[in-house]
Homo-oligomer: A and B are copies of this chain.
Amino acid sequence: MTANILVVEDEPAIQELLALNIKQAGYNALRSLSAEHAQQLLRETLPDLILLDWMLPGMSGIEYARRLKSDNLTKSIPIIMLTARGDEYDKVRGLEVGADDYVTKPFSPRELNARIKAVLRRRAPQMTDDPIEISGLSLDPTTHRVTGNNVNIPLGPTEFRLLHFFMSNAERVHSRTQLLDKVWGDRVFVEDRTVDVHIRRLRNALMASNHQDLIQTVRGSGYRFSAQSSEQAG
Protein backbone atom coordinates (compact mmCIF):
# COMPACT_ATOMS: atom_id res chain seq x y z
CA MET A 1 0.00 0.00 0.00
CA THR A 2 1.64 3.19 -1.14
CA ALA A 3 1.21 6.32 0.90
CA ASN A 4 -1.37 8.86 -0.19
CA ILE A 5 -0.09 12.40 -0.12
CA LEU A 6 -2.45 15.32 -0.42
CA VAL A 7 -1.11 18.48 -2.02
CA VAL A 8 -2.96 21.67 -1.16
CA GLU A 9 -1.56 24.37 -3.40
CA ASP A 10 -3.38 27.01 -5.39
CA GLU A 11 -0.72 27.65 -8.00
CA PRO A 12 -1.34 25.04 -10.72
CA ALA A 13 2.24 24.95 -11.96
CA ILE A 14 3.68 24.31 -8.55
CA GLN A 15 0.96 21.84 -7.75
CA GLU A 16 1.81 19.97 -10.91
CA LEU A 17 5.47 19.98 -10.03
CA LEU A 18 4.77 18.68 -6.57
CA ALA A 19 2.43 15.99 -7.77
CA LEU A 20 4.91 14.86 -10.37
CA ASN A 21 7.64 14.69 -7.84
CA ILE A 22 5.50 12.73 -5.44
CA LYS A 23 4.53 10.28 -8.11
CA GLN A 24 8.14 9.90 -9.14
CA ALA A 25 9.00 9.02 -5.60
CA GLY A 26 6.47 6.24 -5.69
CA TYR A 27 3.68 7.75 -3.67
CA ASN A 28 0.15 8.48 -4.64
CA ALA A 29 -0.71 12.14 -5.14
CA LEU A 30 -4.06 13.75 -4.38
CA ARG A 31 -4.52 17.40 -5.21
CA SER A 32 -6.48 20.35 -4.02
CA LEU A 33 -6.48 23.98 -5.02
CA SER A 34 -7.96 25.23 -1.79
CA ALA A 35 -8.49 24.34 1.82
CA GLU A 36 -12.19 24.08 1.20
CA HIS A 37 -11.79 21.53 -1.53
CA ALA A 38 -9.22 19.63 0.49
CA GLN A 39 -11.75 19.36 3.26
CA GLN A 40 -14.14 17.63 0.89
CA LEU A 41 -11.50 15.17 -0.24
CA LEU A 42 -10.82 14.24 3.35
CA ARG A 43 -14.31 12.88 3.61
CA GLU A 44 -13.47 10.17 1.17
CA THR A 45 -9.94 9.24 2.04
CA LEU A 46 -7.63 10.25 4.81
CA PRO A 47 -4.20 10.80 3.31
CA ASP A 48 -1.03 9.75 5.07
CA LEU A 49 0.57 13.15 4.69
CA ILE A 50 -0.47 16.65 3.69
CA LEU A 51 1.68 19.14 1.82
CA LEU A 52 0.15 22.49 2.62
CA ASP A 53 0.94 25.80 1.03
CA TRP A 54 1.29 28.66 3.45
CA MET A 55 -0.49 31.09 1.19
CA LEU A 56 -3.89 29.99 0.04
CA PRO A 57 -6.89 31.88 -1.25
CA GLY A 58 -9.84 31.68 1.08
CA MET A 59 -8.79 29.95 4.23
CA SER A 60 -5.06 30.43 4.63
CA GLY A 61 -2.74 27.50 4.97
CA ILE A 62 -1.85 28.31 8.52
CA GLU A 63 -5.48 28.56 9.47
CA TYR A 64 -6.27 25.28 7.78
CA ALA A 65 -3.38 23.57 9.49
CA ARG A 66 -4.70 24.65 12.84
CA ARG A 67 -8.10 23.34 11.99
CA LEU A 68 -6.75 20.00 10.86
CA LYS A 69 -4.80 19.64 14.03
CA SER A 70 -7.80 20.40 16.22
CA ASP A 71 -10.02 17.83 14.57
CA ASN A 72 -9.70 14.44 16.14
CA LEU A 73 -10.10 12.68 12.83
CA THR A 74 -7.26 14.49 11.11
CA LYS A 75 -5.18 15.40 14.10
CA SER A 76 -2.64 12.67 13.53
CA ILE A 77 -2.03 13.34 9.85
CA PRO A 78 1.42 14.87 9.49
CA ILE A 79 1.66 18.20 7.72
CA ILE A 80 4.53 19.69 5.78
CA MET A 81 4.15 23.40 5.19
CA LEU A 82 5.36 25.10 2.04
CA THR A 83 6.56 28.58 2.82
CA ALA A 84 7.71 31.13 0.28
CA ARG A 85 10.36 32.90 2.23
CA GLY A 86 12.98 31.77 4.61
CA ASP A 87 11.16 33.72 7.19
CA GLU A 88 11.91 32.60 10.72
CA TYR A 89 8.64 33.97 11.93
CA ASP A 90 6.68 31.81 9.52
CA LYS A 91 8.53 28.72 10.56
CA VAL A 92 7.85 29.34 14.18
CA ARG A 93 4.19 29.91 13.57
CA GLY A 94 3.99 26.85 11.37
CA LEU A 95 5.44 24.62 13.98
CA GLU A 96 3.31 26.25 16.66
CA VAL A 97 0.21 25.30 14.75
CA GLY A 98 1.32 21.72 14.63
CA ALA A 99 3.03 21.33 11.29
CA ASP A 100 5.55 18.52 11.38
CA ASP A 101 8.03 20.09 9.06
CA TYR A 102 8.30 22.85 6.51
CA VAL A 103 9.96 23.36 3.18
CA THR A 104 10.85 26.76 1.84
CA LYS A 105 10.28 27.55 -1.78
CA PRO A 106 12.16 27.15 -3.96
CA PHE A 107 12.82 23.61 -2.91
CA SER A 108 14.88 20.98 -4.61
CA PRO A 109 12.93 17.84 -5.38
CA ARG A 110 15.51 15.89 -3.50
CA GLU A 111 15.06 17.90 -0.36
CA LEU A 112 11.33 17.60 -0.57
CA ASN A 113 11.54 13.84 -0.95
CA ALA A 114 13.89 13.57 1.94
CA ARG A 115 11.51 15.44 4.18
CA ILE A 116 8.50 13.47 3.05
CA LYS A 117 10.32 10.28 3.77
CA ALA A 118 11.45 11.50 7.15
CA VAL A 119 7.96 12.45 8.20
CA LEU A 120 6.46 9.23 6.91
CA ARG A 121 9.14 7.25 8.67
CA ARG A 122 8.04 8.77 11.91
CA ARG A 123 4.35 8.19 11.49
CA ALA A 124 3.90 5.28 9.11
CA PRO A 125 7.18 3.42 8.86
CA GLN A 126 5.77 0.69 6.69
CA MET A 127 4.97 3.25 4.01
CA THR A 128 8.65 3.89 3.39
CA ASP A 129 10.90 1.75 1.30
CA ASP A 130 13.54 1.15 3.90
CA PRO A 131 14.75 -2.42 4.21
CA ILE A 132 14.33 -3.90 7.67
CA GLU A 133 16.40 -6.53 9.41
CA ILE A 134 15.59 -8.06 12.75
CA SER A 135 17.21 -11.12 14.25
CA GLY A 136 18.35 -12.45 10.91
CA LEU A 137 15.03 -11.88 9.27
CA SER A 138 15.17 -9.35 6.46
CA LEU A 139 12.45 -7.69 4.50
CA ASP A 140 13.08 -5.44 1.52
CA PRO A 141 10.05 -3.54 0.26
CA THR A 142 11.64 -2.49 -3.02
CA THR A 143 12.56 -5.96 -4.14
CA HIS A 144 9.61 -7.42 -2.32
CA ARG A 145 11.77 -10.11 -0.83
CA VAL A 146 11.95 -11.70 2.56
CA THR A 147 14.89 -13.77 3.69
CA GLY A 148 15.57 -15.58 6.91
CA ASN A 149 19.26 -16.23 7.46
CA ASN A 150 19.75 -15.60 3.76
CA VAL A 151 17.21 -18.17 2.74
CA ASN A 152 14.41 -16.86 0.62
CA ILE A 153 11.00 -16.99 2.23
CA PRO A 154 8.10 -16.86 -0.19
CA LEU A 155 5.06 -15.01 1.11
CA GLY A 156 1.65 -14.23 -0.26
CA PRO A 157 0.66 -10.57 -0.63
CA THR A 158 -1.24 -10.33 2.63
CA GLU A 159 1.39 -12.14 4.63
CA PHE A 160 4.01 -9.84 3.16
CA ARG A 161 2.12 -6.73 4.17
CA LEU A 162 1.45 -8.19 7.57
CA LEU A 163 5.09 -8.96 8.20
CA HIS A 164 6.09 -5.59 6.85
CA PHE A 165 3.79 -3.89 9.32
CA PHE A 166 4.99 -6.05 12.16
CA MET A 167 8.64 -5.41 11.47
CA SER A 168 8.07 -1.68 11.10
CA ASN A 169 6.25 -1.64 14.39
CA ALA A 170 8.07 -4.24 16.37
CA GLU A 171 7.86 -4.80 20.10
CA ARG A 172 4.38 -3.40 20.21
CA VAL A 173 1.13 -5.26 20.67
CA HIS A 174 -1.45 -4.80 17.93
CA SER A 175 -5.05 -5.78 18.35
CA ARG A 176 -6.74 -7.70 15.59
CA THR A 177 -8.79 -4.66 14.72
CA GLN A 178 -5.71 -2.48 14.50
CA LEU A 179 -4.07 -5.01 12.25
CA LEU A 180 -7.09 -5.10 10.01
CA ASP A 181 -7.02 -1.32 9.76
CA LYS A 182 -3.35 -1.05 9.06
CA VAL A 183 -2.71 -4.09 6.93
CA TRP A 184 -6.02 -4.72 5.23
CA GLY A 185 -7.12 -1.10 5.02
CA ASP A 186 -9.74 1.06 6.63
CA ARG A 187 -12.81 0.27 4.71
CA VAL A 188 -12.65 -3.47 4.55
CA PHE A 189 -15.08 -5.66 6.35
CA VAL A 190 -13.33 -8.77 7.49
CA GLU A 191 -13.84 -10.95 10.54
CA ASP A 192 -11.45 -10.34 13.38
CA ARG A 193 -10.70 -14.01 13.56
CA THR A 194 -9.39 -13.97 10.03
CA VAL A 195 -6.29 -12.35 11.40
CA ASP A 196 -5.55 -15.51 13.32
CA VAL A 197 -5.49 -17.49 10.13
CA HIS A 198 -3.05 -15.15 8.47
CA ILE A 199 -0.88 -15.15 11.53
CA ARG A 200 -0.72 -18.87 11.24
CA ARG A 201 0.12 -18.66 7.56
CA LEU A 202 2.87 -16.20 8.30
CA ARG A 203 4.28 -18.31 11.11
CA ASN A 204 4.13 -21.28 8.85
CA ALA A 205 6.20 -19.54 6.23
CA LEU A 206 8.68 -18.27 8.80
CA MET A 207 9.30 -21.80 9.97
CA ALA A 208 11.52 -22.18 6.92
CA SER A 209 14.23 -20.31 8.81
CA ASN A 210 13.00 -20.96 12.30
CA HIS A 211 11.78 -17.41 12.80
CA GLN A 212 8.23 -18.33 13.66
CA ASP A 213 8.64 -17.36 17.31
CA LEU A 214 9.12 -13.72 16.40
CA ILE A 215 5.36 -13.52 16.07
CA GLN A 216 4.02 -13.73 19.56
CA THR A 217 0.49 -14.12 20.76
CA VAL A 218 -0.58 -11.79 23.51
CA ARG A 219 -3.60 -13.46 24.95
CA GLY A 220 -6.56 -11.15 25.23
CA SER A 221 -4.87 -8.36 23.31
CA GLY A 222 -3.53 -9.36 19.97
CA TYR A 223 -0.14 -10.09 18.47
CA ARG A 224 3.33 -8.75 18.72
CA PHE A 225 6.46 -9.01 16.65
CA SER A 226 9.35 -9.18 19.04
CA ALA A 227 13.01 -10.07 18.92
CA GLN A 228 12.91 -10.85 22.62
CA SER A 229 11.61 -14.25 23.45
CA SER A 230 8.41 -14.17 25.43
CA GLU A 231 9.87 -16.67 27.90
CA GLN A 232 12.32 -14.34 29.50
CA ALA A 233 11.67 -10.86 30.64
CA GLY A 234 13.59 -8.05 29.00
Q: Which of B106, B142, B181 contacts A94 (CB 8 A)?
A: B106
Pairs across A and B, CB under 8 Å, 11 listed:
A13-B96, A14-B95, A16-B98, A84-B92, A88-B106, A143-B173, A143-B224, A144-B173, A144-B224, A152-B233, A157-B221
**Contact call A234/B108, Cβ cutoff below 8 A:** no
Q: Does A37 have its Cβ within 8 Å of any Cβ on chain B? A: no
Query: Whole-angstrom distance between the alpha carbons of A96 and B84 in the complex?
Result: 12
Residues from 179 to 210 in A contacting B, C-beta threshold 8 Å: 181
This chain's copy number in the assembly: 2
Q: Does A219 have its Cβ within 8 Å of any Cβ on chain B? A: yes
Q: A13-B98, A95-B17, A173-B142 are in contact. Are A157 and B220 (CB under 8 A)?
A: yes
Query: Whole-angstrom distance between the alpha carbons of A220 and B144 in the complex?
Result: 11
**Contact call B118/A143, Cβ cutoff below 8 A:** no
Q: A219-B157, A224-B144 are in contact. Are A150 and B94 (CB under 8 A)?
A: no
Query: Whole-angstrom distance between the alpha carbons of A122 and B24 in the complex?
Result: 7
Q: Does A42 have its Cβ within 8 Å of any Cβ on chain B? A: no
For A123, the closest partner residue in chain B by CB is B24
Q: Does A134 have its Cβ within 8 Å of any Cβ on chain B? A: no
